[in-house]
Amino acid sequence: MKRWNVALNALAVVAIGVGFSSAVGAPAERTQGDFARIMFVHVPSAWLAFLAFGVTLAGGVIWLVSKSLRWDRVAGSSAEVGVFFTALALVTGMIWGYPVWGTFWDWGDARMMSTAIMFFVYVGYLALRRSIPDRETRARRSAILGIVAFVQVPLVYFSVNLFRTLHQGATFSGPDSPIDEGFVRPLLINLAAFTLVYLAFTASRTRLASIEDDFDEAAALADIELAGSGITEPNLGGESNDE
Amino acid sequence: MTEPGFWRQAGEIARKDLMIEGRAGEALYITVPFGAVALMLIPLAIGTDKPLLATVGPGLFLAVALLFGMLVAFRQTATDTPPQRELLALLGTDPAAKFVGRAATSMLLLLAFQIVLVPVTVLLYNPGRMDRWPWLLVVIVLLASGLSLVGTLAGSVTVGLKTRSTLTPLLVAPLSMPMLLAASQVVEALRNGSSILVWILLLMTIDIAMAAIGVSTANPLEESSI
Amino acid sequence: MSEGWVVLAYVVVYGFMLAYAGYLAGKARSLRRRAEG
């Protein structure tokens, strides 16, 4: 593994440790007590999911412009890590929700709804990538889907928000409700830690994708050679015209 | 001879698609009955209590219109075979015009699909008359265009893939969620007398956004090697 | 009572991260084996 990769991974681990200790050390919250500590892992997960899908959009667009496959690999890897963080955000959101709402799911929560829809949209994105063996076609179609997928994010968020304000009114306490001053620092520390984890995962995943692509390309070339090398020059005797 | 304009090309593509679909009849003879069967199966699952069905009827119509209607957008005749694609390319067809033409046909078929299912819903669910009900027709049109745009986009991204028939619905379903929400909120607002304006605007925004993406990405997509 | 939920949340988060790291490591190992094999 390249040196900076190892360094990034180590840094991410350290940062998570720092994040964890800051989460433990934070004073109990005014209204929710210890329970609000779930926010330190829920909010960064949701943030990183959005960031990851933004990178997927950017990677796809840059590929469309430059045709450099590296950006497509970044887009695909970021989507995979993004789905990972989306799952985390959903699970932690539901763990929060159950004691607070009495159910795992609140239909009026715009952010959870957006996150859930995005989960399925990007699972579809990954399924599309998996279905296309040809690199360039995969890159092209993924880029288009990446654009459509990301445009959905504000649409879903806005529509569910509208739904909620018309039905339940603006007051509502969920995993993302406003917080105490003393909570901001551990939140930011964990946000930074999760960002490092995202970078470490995405960098590794991109590199693995690059190695995989090289293998596939070599295998394809080897196949071509094999097909041609079965035919040998007929030996008719006499002088060869080749030098 | 001057090259036909964008709208002329789109119109010809739409006409061709409609003709082919007219002969194949997939939307009419297969997808519409499928939607009707779905509407019949659901009460067997959720309960045949009349007030319940009257309440959920319009919403279920919308859900079926979306989930089953999307099959109209990826019908067999909506995909070009390689020779067809080559022919269109040789003729110098604008890919964006192809997209618009194809989406237009899907929209008309989806409109027909929904319109046929309205009386089925009324018969089975007996939802009762609504004030300002003509607005439901507006919703049906906006829904048909939005779904056809998303469906055509998703269809063009999955051309030639082996998993196409299952992958395309997976792609379209979550993307149709805002449309479904907006449409069902119009129904709700019609029922309790509140304003439908914001939801109609949302539906229109989705349509415009999807049309813009479809048209602008049509050219890059065309270079696909499959 | 609520501590249980908090602990669960953290275990899930860190557990997922370890699992994904393991998945990446496994992928790397299989690619390395392909390179040698």
Q: How many CB atoms sit inside 10 A of residue A80's CB?
A: 22
| pLDDT tens readout for residues B165-223 | 999 999 999 999 999 999 999 999 998 888 899 999 999 999 999 999 999 999 888 87
Q: Taking CA A18 as the corner, what is the angle to CA A13 and CA A22, rounded to the nearest 5 degrees? A: 145
The pLDDT score that the predictor gives to residue A170 is 46
Mean pLDDT for the stretch of residues A44-61:
95
Q: Per-residue pLDDT averaged across B10-25, rounded?
A: 90
Is the pLDDT reported for residue A202 higher than 90? Answer: yes
pLDDT of C11 reads 94
Residue type, A235: N
The answer to whether residue B103 scores a pLDDT higher than 60 is yes
Collapsed DSSP state (helix, strand, coil) of residue B23: helix
pLDDT tens by residue, B154-172: 999 998 898 999 999 999 9
User: Chains that contact B by 3+ CB pairs under 8 Å?
Assistant: A
Q: Does C23 touch chain A (CB under 8 A)?
A: no
Residues B214, A188: Cα–Cα separation, whole Å: 39
pTM: 0.89
Whether residue C16 and residue A33 make contact (CB cut-off 8 A), yes or no, is no
Residue A28 has pLDDT above 80, yes or no: no
Nearest-angstrom CA–CA distance, B85 and B93:
10
Residues of A in contact with B221 (CB under 8 A): 140-141, 144
User: What residues does each domain of chain A span?
Assistant: 41-170+191-206
What type of residue is B131? D
Please check the confidence at residue A239 and state whether its pLDDT lies above 80: no
pLDDT of residue B170: 95
Best residue in A63, A107, A142, A144 for a mutation probing chain B (most B CBs within 10 Å): A144
Structural domain includes residue B1: no
**Count of domains in chain B?**
1
Q: Which residue has the higher pLDDT, B122 or A31?
A: B122
Is residue B14 included in any domain, yes or no?
A: yes
Contact A47, A84 (CB under 8 A): no
Q: Is residue B28 part of a domain?
A: yes
Does residue A60 register a pLDDT over 60? Answer: yes
Does residue B101 have a pLDDT over 80? yes
Q: How far apart are CA A112 and CA A121, in angstroms?
A: 14
Report yes or no: A202 and A81 within 8 Å, Cβ to Cβ. yes
Q: What is the CA radius of gyration of chain C?
A: 16
Search chain C and give the residue with CA nearest A98.
C5
Least Cα distance to B115 among B55, B57, B200, B36 occurs for: B36
Partners of residue A132 in chain B, C-beta under 8 Å = 161
Structure tokens at B151: 């469906």
The residues, ordered by sequence, that sit 6+ positions from B176 with a Cβ below 8 Å of its Cβ are B66, B70, B146, B147, B150
Interface test with C, best of A24, A37, A83, A100 (most C CBs within 10 A): A37
- 3-state DSSP: chain A helix, strand, coil percent, rounded to 5? 80, 0, 20
What backbone torsions phi and psi does residue B109 show, to the nearest 5 degrees?
-65, -40
Please state, for a pLDDT cut of 90, what percent of chain B lies above it: 68
Cβ A29 vs Cβ A179: under 8 Å? yes
Burial A156-178 (b: 16+ CB within 10 A, else e): bbebbbbbbebeeeeeeebbbee
**Residue-level pLDDT at A171:** 44
Q: What is the ipTM of this complex?
A: 0.91
Closest among A158, A125, A127 to A143, alpha carbons compared: A125
With 0-12 / 13-18 / 19 or more C-beta atoms within 10 angstroms meaning exposed / middle / buried, residue B102 is: buried
Q: A29 in helix, strand or coil? A: strand
Q: Which domain holds residue B187?
A: 6-222
